Amino acid sequence: MRIATWNVNSVKARLPNVLGWLERTSPDVVLFQEIKCETASFPKAEFEKLGYHCAVVGQKSYNGVALLSKQPAEDVLEHLPGDPEDVQGRYVEATVSGVRVASIYLPNGNPVGTEKYPYKLRWMERLRAHAAGLLWTEQPFVLGGDYNVIPAVEDVYDPQAWETDALFRPETRAQFRALLNLGLTEAFRALHPDEIKAYTFWDYQAGRWPRDQGIRIDHFLLSPQAADRLVACDIDRGPRGEEKASDHTPVVLELAD
């Protein structure tokens, strides 16, 4: 099973890029973040032509996630449990071919001195509580998406410049480690422990892409049952270099059958 995650930064604005990439790579499951459209206006028909079923949690102009799968998605969950008043479109989860898969768009958290940062930390606490519950099921699961977390100094072009940013603050990284400490595996680093400049995001500003000044914030976290099936996890930098590209690039996970 091949699972891809990609923050597309507006699915309508990037539709030719996204469809072209899917035609070339044909993953079994695709996790999108920042689709930036309401559920009803998601271009489902274009993806259905490529053989995908679509589970979409949209939101007007902001956020929004989707889970596309070649096999039907079962038991779809459209909201991260723990706060019924949180209506932002940031989470969708379903079972595909026996594997529980989630598409996650974790809050950015900036500016730190506003309510956005406590919201980010609370969201991460909710995610940890939900992941702990999933572990009890002993079903293989994959939590993939844009975590808006830079896990370590190796994952950012200039650690000092980012040390006060919500993506890299000690509290953020501690919450991410707490997730891993449940017994989850961060797929990319499990297979590429020493790789540097393994970025998934390059800002549009200041020539970050041509200078290769990026950060790694798109991750796959695997349950022990999924980690036992881990074959590959790689970053595909190609789409970031295209015209009208998203500022993120896809990450592709492969699990053995």
- The strand pair at 99-105 and 185-186 is best described as unpaired
Query: How many Å from the N-terminal Cα to the C-terminal Cα in the chain?
Result: 6
**243: annotated binding-site residue?**
no
Cα–Cα distance list, 90 to 3, 46, 66, 86, 249 (Å): 18, 22, 9, 10, 18
**236: annotated binding-site residue?**
no
**247: annotated binding-site residue?**
yes
- How many residues are listed for the chain in this entry? 257
Report the alpha-carbon distance of residue 115 to residue 137 in Å, rounded: 34
Cis peptide before 111 (omega within 30 of 0): yes
202, 214 Cβ separation under 8 angstroms: yes
**7: annotated binding-site residue?**
yes
**148: annotated binding-site residue?**
yes
Residue with tokens 């032509």: 49
Instruction: Let me know if 158 is exposed, middle or buried by CB neighbors in 10 A (0-12, 13-18, 19+).
Output: exposed
| Residues labelled as active-site residues | 105, 146, 248
**23: annotated binding-site residue?**
no
Report the alpha-carbon distance of residue 233 to residue 254 in Å, rounded: 6
Order of strands, edge to edge, in the sheet holding 251-255?
A: 53-57, 65-69, 29-33, 2-7, 251-255, 230-235
Q: Which residues are annotated as a binding site?
A: 7, 34, 146, 148, 247-248
Q: Which residues are annotated as a binding site for Mg(2+)?
A: 7, 34, 146, 148, 247-248
